[in-house]
Amino acid sequence: MGLRVGVDEAGRGSLVGELFVVAFAMRDDDEKLLVDYGVRDSKRLSQSKRAELYAVLRKWPFTVSSIAPHEIDLYNINRLELDAVFKVLRVLALRLGGEFTASRIVVDKFGDVDKELMKMLKRLSFTGTLVVEEGADDRYVEVSAASIIAKHLRDRRLQVLRSIYGVEGSGYPGDPRTLEWLEETLKSGVKPPIIRYSWATLERFGLRVRKARLTFKTLDEYLDRGMRGEDGIR
């Protein structure tokens, strides 16, 4: 019997920080156990619940890749994510050996990548089933698990960015606190490397991104503003 592999991402729509891609492997008879633990789409879980489930899910095989903001500014995001999906699956294949080749892989859809991804998987001698489906994180427990891990890792990364750069809010363009922090930061002349500068949101808010000078402050200068730990995540 082959394995079931789920692939999902977190942070695709964020203005701040990396995009995380995760591949998670399980067996058919793991499904009831994972459902009993409460594994479901990460968007329907609190941050504390995702952290709790991550401690459980890390017992299963999974692999992670991240895409930096400057890469997203330079290249097509679908192409970058496709390459990241193949990377996490390639590393997972090395870890799982022959069991991987006959597995079912389910990817939460992010573009018309089905045919291209299948061509890439054939280079790994993959003979299983590939499913690329919208809303897969809500319908397949293996994708739900991948989404929880990806979102938890992004939560932890955002905590680090809060401590170093003073990031406020969720990092998403619909969050007023994030936009206020972004405007204040850019108007001060600082251009941190954690922002996706190519996004239209910055122009829409009149932040004049192209005129912001690139300034690298030392870690100590950022930390003088005050550390934010677990309790400071908002």
Tally of CB atoms within 10 A around 122: 10
Q: What pLDDT was estimated at residue 206?
A: 64
The edge-to-edge listing of strands for the beta sheet with 62-67 is: 62-67, 19-26, 4-10, 104-108, 129-133
Domains of the chain: 4-159 (3.30.420.10), 166-232 (no CATH)
Asked if 130 contacts 140 with a C-beta cutoff of 8 angstroms, the reply is no
pLDDT at 231 over 60: no
CB neighbour list of residue 178: distance below 8 Å, 6 or more residues apart: 15, 16, 167, 168, 169, 170, 171, 172
What are the tens digits of pLDDT across the range 57-73?
999 999 999 999 999 98
- What is the arithmetic mean of pLDDT over 210-218? 41
CA distance 100 to 92: 8
Nearest Cα neighbor of 171 from 191, 147, 155 is 155
Q: How confident is the model at residue 202 (pLDDT cuts 50, 70, 90)?
A: confident
For 53-81, give the DSSP string: HHHHHTTS-EEEEEE-HHHHHHS-HHHHH
Q: Say how many residues make up the chain.
A: 234
Q: What pLDDT was estimated at residue 1?
A: 53
- What is the arithmetic mean of pLDDT over 8-14? 96
What are the tens digits of pLDDT across the range 116-135?
999 999 999 999 999 999 99
Asked if 117 contacts 130 with a C-beta cutoff of 8 angstroms, the reply is yes
Q: Which long-range contacts (CB under 8 A, 24 or more apart) does 113-119 make?
A: 113/78, 113/82, 113/85, 116/82, 117/82, 117/85, 117/86
CA distance 96 to 76: 30
Average pLDDT along the chain = 87
Q: How confident is the model at residue 31 (pLDDT cuts 50, 70, 90)?
A: very high
The Cα-based distances of 40 to 87, 142, 144, 170 in angstroms read 24, 9, 5, 21
Nearest Cα neighbor of 151 from 3, 31, 9 is 9
Q: How confident is the model at residue 186 (pLDDT cuts 50, 70, 90)?
A: confident
